[in-house]
A and B are shown apart, each in its own frame.
Chain A
Amino acid sequence: MARGNKEVLAKLEQIVGPDYVSNEEAVLLPYSWDLTWAEPRMPDYVVMPKTVTEIQRILRLANHLRIPVIPYVNATNIGGLCIPEEGGIVMDLKRMDRIIKIDPETCYAIIEPGVSHAQLSATLKATNPQWEGYEFSKGFEFGWGVHPASASVLAMAINHGIGHLNGRIGINSQLISSMEVVLPTGEVVKLGSCAFSDSWHSFLPLPRMDGLFVGWMGTTGIVTKLGIWIFPIRPYKDVLTIAAETAHDMTRYMVHWRHYSLCDEVTAVSWWLAQIPIPYPYQEKPKDAPEWFSYTVISGWSEEELEYKRKMWKKVVEEERARGTKLIDFEYPPEAKRGRTELPSRIVGSTKNYSKSCGGGLAWPGTFAPCKSWPILYEKWKEIYIRHNLSPAVRFTDFQGAHYGMLRLMTPFDKRDPDSVRRAKEAMVECVRVGIPLGMLPYKPPVEYVNELNAAADAGYVYLMAKIKDMLDPNNIMNPGKLGIR
């Protein structure tokens, strides 16, 4: 069965060639949903451009005909960001998969949207940091997240994705150094140092116009090239683990440890998230099991550096115990340690932890929140989840910078069962609602979370957002419906 109309299809075929556009339902279907409870919406066309010029022509056509355009690469955002709320053209950017440049001296890479984590990690690992031909060490890395290796590096970075170096260097959107964007009206713009020379090393000291395209969920333009900082792989790594009885004690320890800026990452997971699979529906935690488990990854250039970090970590644990924080020793199995030190991983990045117990649904209230609020919100979320018969599978991660970080709740649910879908959605939206007053902000948010955000937002914030959106996208063709304002 075909959707859309033949005239538009013919025009799209003229732009990209008949092999790379379709309006057939059997082809469109995988673009209509994702892992989450977001309502499936069928696009009318999918188009796969290869060049910036093709993107410009598609956007001009879409503007002329007022057809929505939804940028897409892999759609593993767990927020329904690529679901076409109002139909239209899904622009699948997978064919734009060139790693245009890796500069091993200045330490940045330039990538297209279709470059996967698999592609980039393999290429970076084979490239050595150097200066004037002298190689300092072996291999580069980027912030690798916990997601399928086929996920887009660019899409993840511009949507505030989390990488494994978040405690040391920040989240991936903080590692962007330059970009090229096609505006909704078809013009191509370069932002950052690449606007002035061939060097893609930095946005600073220029105005941060990249902010018009980062965190906007594809509603303000199509980012066609991205400069990103890359980092030498440190050859020495270890994973240190500790458990706690309460979210309060775990947070105390994490903030104290991250204070010294010695770790690549420090993360804690509740008992329910530590289970494989996450129990669905809710199961009670065994009375003798700690409620919280944490790991921290340390890295260094020598065993001595690593040993120093181990000593400092032990000191933190001892000091916390001395002031009454109840911390419990536990050891990660070797396989779990591998999973933390060998990212990106097809196993850790898969969804096996979430799908075993039920019918393929996975969503989260994925948020950034001040560490101060974590224990409070955890108790509130726990109550909400147990009430909805769901497991409170919560994760804390303290990011580089202020003491804030990821507070999220991985939630499997059964997509075959309307009641399961409804409960999951209701529970998550309620979690977001109670969290916003405590400083919590959802990232890669589904429309329902955006609505909660907008309802709580300062009026000036919403006003400016609408003004920027109108300025950049006068016909509101870019991923309409995602910002909750137009």
Chain B
Amino acid sequence: MALVLKRTDMKELAQIYDRISMCTQCGNCKYGYEYGPTENFAAMLCPQGDKYQFEAYRGSKGKAALAKGLLSGMIQWSDKAAHVIYTCIGCGACVEMCETDIKDYLLRMFEALKSETWKQNVAIPEGVRKWSSTIRENRNPYLEKHENRLDWLPASIRETLPKKAEYIYFVGCTASYRQKNIALATVKLLQKLKVDFTVVPDEWCCASPLLRTGQYDVAKEFIEHNKELPEKYGASAFITTCAGCYRTLSIDYQKDPPEGYTDKFGKANFKVIHTIQLVEDMIKKGEIEFEGSFNNVVTYHDPCHLGRHAKVYDSPRNVLQAIPGLKLVEMYRSKKFSFCCGAGGGVRGGYPDYSIETAIKRVREAESTGASVITCVCPFCWRNLSDAISALKSSMKMMDITEILEPIVKKK
């Protein structure tokens, strides 16, 4: 039987069926692996497969099979299909392993599958439905009021920020409403480094949670709004401390498919840098002086949205290695073979137990390095890993790199 495309009404999937059909179901995607004269790596990288085990949940093979099955009419939509689709975190580990021509389209396929679920009568996770129902009103997925977005920013700092500046610090929803420690550390850090930046009251969610859960129509409003901000504030670039915002602003807003969504939302054209890249650049130019040290063994967790999605692996490591007293140790699964914290893709809201279970696996791996601190550059990873540390009653401490840097740096 041939897998003939029959359900052309599933437009998001049907339009990439040529690519989906290129998945041979070989299963390369199900396990991380590298072998050679110097390489010898083998480990499970797919959090979803690690948890749910069945083929449908492992790597991209299962989701490609589901897409083919739905498009060809072999199977019908069901709550279980939605479960397979929504428990995928979109971490991109399978993309690293795939060698066929579906590779570049895998993340798009996962999101297209989620997009189609909104048109079907299936069980989208309640947590996702909940924040989705209020995000238009609140401009954030945390059910918080938009007018409180800058509550984290002390008036004493706010007064010092210019109305217009070279950079807009795009704080992101998690740092604005939850990990305020990271937002505050970032602002203090940028001020100490004498960066010309401002924070804007009309920043809306970058749309990452909407895109990652396939809610394209809602995402459009957010993207169109945020696109206007640089011009409005005379800025040439966004600075982010959130890996999710970084990926969304730099890739989804700006790159053509399959990486980005310019086919849906048009093309934005502004620079996006992550705080860690800015700091790395200043260190390289000799513009930063360390006033103190950080005498701890530290392990770095690669956020999927900054690492595998945006290929930023070295900047955080270069910065960490420049910090006096800090000893950096790597987890076995790192860089392109990192293991996700379990928060993304709507999973933290949709399946909190599975999300935290995944983070616990990551913290256990971090513990095995002998480090006392886990660091990362993503407030969302910070939250999940921090919750896992609490759940485990681990002695490890969670810190964003900005939190390590801020107390001990100054501009030369």
Q: Which B residues are CB-close (under 8 A) to A172?
A: none
Interface assignment of A1: CB less than 8 Å from any CB of chain B: yes
* Smallest Cβ-Cβ distance to B82: which chain A residue: A26
Partner of A116, one of B18, B31, B66, B101: B31
Residues A359 and B4 in contact, CB atoms below 8 Å apart: no
Q: Does A382 reach chain B (CB closer than 8 Å)? A: no
Q: Distance in Å from the Cβ of B355 to the closest Cβ of chain A?
A: 17
CB distance from A46 to the nearest CB of B (A): 6
Tell me which residues from 149 to 176 in chain A have a Cβ below 8 Å from any Cβ of chain B.
149-151
Task: Tell me which of B37, B84, B100 has the highest count of chain A C-beta atoms within 10 A of its own C-beta.
Answer: B100
Q: How far is the CB of A211 from chain B (nearest CB, A)?
A: 29
State which residues 262-288 of A face B: CB under 8 Å. Answer: none
Contact check, B100 vs A26: say whether CB atoms are below 8 A apart.
no
In the complex, A350 has a CB within 8 A of chain B: yes
Interface residues on B, range: 35 or more
Binds B, one of A120-128, A224-232, A385-393: A120-128
The answer to whether A35 touches B1, judged by C-beta atoms less than 8 angstroms apart, is: no
Chain B residues, CB < 8 A from A414:
2, 21
Q: Write the A404-431 contact mask toward B (1 if CB under 8 angstroms, else 0).
A: 0000000000111110110000000000
A118 pairs with B81, CB closer than 8 A: no
CA distance A172 to B80 in the complex (A): 39
Quick check: is B269 within 8 A (CB to CB) of the other chain? no
Is the pair A76, B26 in contact by a Cβ cutoff of 8 Å?
A: yes
Chain A neighbourhood of B83, CB < 8 A: 26
Q: When the two chains form the complex, which single residue of B28, B34, B62 contacts A30, counting CB atoms closer than 8 Å?
A: B62
Chain A 114-137: CB-based contact to B (< 8 A → 1; otherwise 0): 001011011101100000000000
Chain B residues with Cβ below 8 Å from A35 are 24-26
Query: A101 interface residue, CB < 8 Å from B?
Result: no
Would you call A352 an interface residue if the criterion is a C-beta within 8 Å of the partner chain's C-beta atoms?
yes
**Given contacts A27-B84, A416-B21, is CB(A150)–CB(B54) below 8 Å?**
no
How far apart are A466's CB and chain B's nearest CB, in angstroms? 30
Measured between beta carbons, the chain B residues less than 8 angstroms from A342 are 35-37
Q: Which of B69-77, B191-199, B384-392 contacts A (4 or more CB under 8 A)?
A: B69-77
- What 1/0 mask marks residues of chain B from 80 to 102 whose CB sits below 8 Å from any chain A CB? 11011000000000000111111
* Interchain CB contact under 8 A, A25 and B101: no
Quick check: is A74 within 8 A (CB to CB) of the other chain?
yes
Q: Is the CB of A27 within 8 A of B54?
A: yes
Q: How far is the CA of A121 from the CA of B23 in the complex (A)?
A: 25
Q: Does A20 lie at the interface of the complex (its beta carbon under 8 Å from any beta carbon of B)?
A: yes
**Chain A 31-45 per-residue mask, 1 if CB under 8 angstroms from chain B, else 0:** 111110001100000
B173 to chain A, nearest CB (A): 31
A48 interface residue per 8 A CB criterion: yes
The answer to whether the Cβ of A347 comes within 8 Å of any Cβ in the partner chain is: yes
The answer to whether A148 and B26 touch (CB under 8 A), given A24-B78, A39-B1, A121-B35, is yes
Question: A475 contacts which chain B residues (CB < 8 A)?
Answer: none
Q: Which residues of A contact B247 (CB under 8 A)?
A: none
Find out whether the CB atom of B28 lies under 8 angstroms from the CB atom of A148. yes
* B53 in contact with A48 (CB, 8 Å): yes
Question: Are B54 and A350 within 8 A (Cβ)?
Answer: no
For chain B, residues 244 to 266, give those with C-beta under 8 angstroms from any C-beta of chain A. none
